[in-house]
Chain A
Amino acid sequence: MSLRYLAGRAAGMLGTLLGVAVVVFVVLRALPGDTITAKLGTQAAELDADQRAALRHFYGLDASPVTQFLRWFGGLFRGDLGVSIDTGVPVTHLIGDALPVTLELAVLAMIIAVPVGVLAGMLAASRPGAARDLSVQGVGLLGLAVPEFVVATVTVAWLASAFAYTPSAGTFVSLGSSFGGNLRQMLYPALVLGVGLAATVMRTTRSAYLEAAGSDFVRTARGKGLAESRVRFRHILHNAGIPIVTMVGIQFGYLLGGTLVVEQVFALPGLGRLLLDGILHQDYAIVQGVTLLVAGTFVVVNFAVDIVYRLLDPRTRSEGRRA
């Protein structure tokens, strides 16, 4: 992979990040209308013109939209995402508390879902059209079709009736304070997240595996007298691995913005809960900050996936003279 390619991709990524910031600004600052009305609600009607102007000046709303954007954008580089209108706490602090929870949830869900999805996909692809293939595919389709909020709701209800578990009972135990206690709280939500994820990974694995299994080099490998397990893992799965890695990377990016339902149902103080509270309380600084963070991370993760993809494949890893 040439430095030139890397530089080009990185420049493209920075451009996209800038675009993301503009969209977030436009959608969440321009569209919701008057922040002061949003903040003060009915009290806003009692303000006189001077007070209103003073407030507008205080929040920087009297400047032109471009100036406002530049101020906000400049703040990003100083780690300033504004303060929560509700509580006055800096948004970066709120995110700092919430991010580890969501990250842990996403990583756990991946740890659960990726092996299950890959093995199920291999199982299905090993005999296409056979009973095992159809049943794996059927379960996979259900895994995608049953909404996460249904799986989450049923899981919580079942835990409540079977173990008298209630998500709101007791406060959140962080990973740092008690590993076991934290895992007990995180395991079920991660499992719920893993259902849809495993189904997606399964489908990708299945089609990538089928494609690789039909390659000539697989016949060559068998022709050498290799054990079937070595043919399957070293040759077929390895070659199917590139689309699988890509899919897993993208899904991880999605997960950071997609833990909302699970965090809500299981009462976990992650990014999703923060975002949802921000939306429900019309606390736009929070919504803006979380959206920007998640979308930005998503862009960076996609960039990383593209690079990893190229490093995995010797055909794109390096150029140079032929042997």
Chain B
Amino acid sequence: MTVLQIEDLHTVVRSGGRDLPVVRGVSLSVDAGEIVGLVGESGSGKSFTALSVLGLLPAGARVTSGRILVDGEDLLALRERDRRTRRGGTVAMIYQDPMTALNPLMTVGAQIAEGLRAHGIRGAEAKSRTLAAIEEVGLPKPDRIARSYPHRLSGGQRQRVVIATALALRPRVLIADEPTTALDVTIQQQILALVDELRASHDLAVLWITHDLGVVARIAARVAVMYAGRVAEQAGTRELFAAPQHPYSAALLASIPSPTDTVRGPLPQIGGAPPDLTALPPGCPFEPRCVHRESACAATEPEPVRRGGSDTACLVPRERWS
């Protein structure tokens, strides 16, 4: 069952007196109990997509068109007051750096309970649900953790607290903004396992933002690859890794070091610079860097088509790749 559905989302950032398109017609859906990886370089628009869903765009950025449906309700059509109650309530987010994501001057328990109170849960119930949330993310002695200030906790413990804060209100959608990149490898694995476990037990729809395809392979059922504010390719994880239908996805996959690589040569890199959003070409935005480009690519921006189990915004089928 589809929980989160993004339809033709457009987001702009006001900069130097004009609107810079940072999200240009993104459509995505995430089912209950499903993790969808949202992959892209910095500047590809993946974070702006996530912040649009949450309604936490920075000053100067705004959604210009599109719909964001959660359980059929369009978040963009809500009044600000209702929008706020959906934050945390139906859509929650966990963040990249657990060291800075918590208020250093408040105890962990107070920070979790504060979110509950903002949604009308008070008194003893707020307290018991705070402790339950801490316990659920696998932290020992919830009582003691609740009374601790963040600086007393390790990075992994803090990330668990961030997750507990996000899930205390039993949201339907969880947006994970690279929550493992700032952690040690062993802790990373624990957090990945924890989110996967909670996804299953809460029937959560998870949108996992990352630039790390290795993490995606491990956790996501489906992947959307973003480039220059659009979804370049959307496919099942297995399909994407087996046979990418967009040259950009292929290039990203080629740049992952594989343990089975026998040749110890340099990893292939994507030549050229990421697109300049102030001066996008009329054609495919990846065309200037693409090794498989054809003459038609520079003329018009391709719309997504169904090809080989993927939705790919590329004119050139895999068979024609040189």
Partner-B contacts on A (CB < 8 A): 127, 215-217, 219-227, 230, 234-235, 238-239, 312-315, 322-323
Contacts and interface: CB of A to CB of B under 8 A. Distances in A.
A246 to B, nearest CB: 15
B115 A226 contact: yes
Interface of B: 54, 56, 59, 84-89, 92-93, 95, 97, 100-106, 111, 114-115, 118-119, 141, 144-145, 148-149, 151-154, 157, 162, 165-166, 169
Contacts of A235: 103
A322 B153 CA distance: 6
A23 B92 CA distance: 61
A226 B165 CA distance: 12
12 contacts: A127-B59, A216-B100, A217-B102, A220-B162, A224-B88, A224-B92, A224-B114, A234-B106, A314-B104, A315-B151, A322-B152, A322-B154
A271 to B, nearest CB: 37
B89 A225 contact: yes
A323 B59 CA distance: 37
B118 A220 contact: no
Contact of B87 (A217, A222, A230): A222
Given A217-B100, A220-B95, A225 B118 contact: yes
A47 to B, nearest CB: 67
Given A225-B118, A239-B105, A219 B56 contact: yes
B212 to A, nearest CB: 20
Given A223-B88, A227-B84, A315 B153 contact: no
Contacts of A230: 114, 118
A262 B100 CA distance: 46
Nearest to B89: A225
A226 B95 contact: no
Contact of B144 (A216, A224, A323): A323
Nearest to B96: A216
A223 B85 contact: no
Contacts of B86: 225
A216 B97 contact: yes
A239 to B, nearest CB: 6
Nearest to A218: B103
A188 to B, nearest CB: 38
Contacts of A234: 106, 114
Given A225-B86, A225-B119, A227-B84, A314 B101 contact: no
A160 B149 CA distance: 56
Given A225-B118, A315-B149, 17 more contacts: A216-B97, A217-B100, A219-B101, A220-B95, A220-B101, A220-B165, A222-B56, A223-B93, A224-B165, A225-B119, A226-B114, A226-B115, A230-B114, A313-B105, A314-B105, A322-B152, A323-B157
Nearest to B157: A323
B6 to A, nearest CB: 18
Q: Count chain B CB atoms within 10 A of each CB in A215, A220, A224 and give the residue with the most.
A: A224
Contacts of A223: 54, 56, 87-88, 92-93, 166
A226 B84 CA distance: 7
B95 A216 contact: yes
The 4 closest A-B pairs by CB, nearest first: A225-B88, A224-B115, A225-B87, A216-B100
Contacts of A222: 56, 87
Nearest to B166: A223
Contact of B84 (A225, A239, A312): A225
A224 B101 contact: no
A127 B87 CA distance: 23
Contacts of A323: 141, 144-145, 148, 152-153, 157
A238 B101 contact: no
A259 B41 CA distance: 59
Q: Count chain B CB atoms within 10 A of each CB in A217, A223, A238, A313 and give the residue with the most.
A: A223
Nearest to A242: B105
Contact of A224 (B118, B145, B148, B151): B118
Contacts of B56: 219, 222-223
Contacts of A219: 56, 95, 101
A127 B59 CA distance: 9
B93 A315 contact: no
A217 B87 CA distance: 15
B82 to A, nearest CB: 11
Given A217-B101, A220-B101, A315-B151, A225 B115 contact: yes
A312 B152 CA distance: 16
Contacts of A315: 104, 149, 151
Nearest to B81: A227
A220 B141 CA distance: 24
Contacts of B102: 217, 220
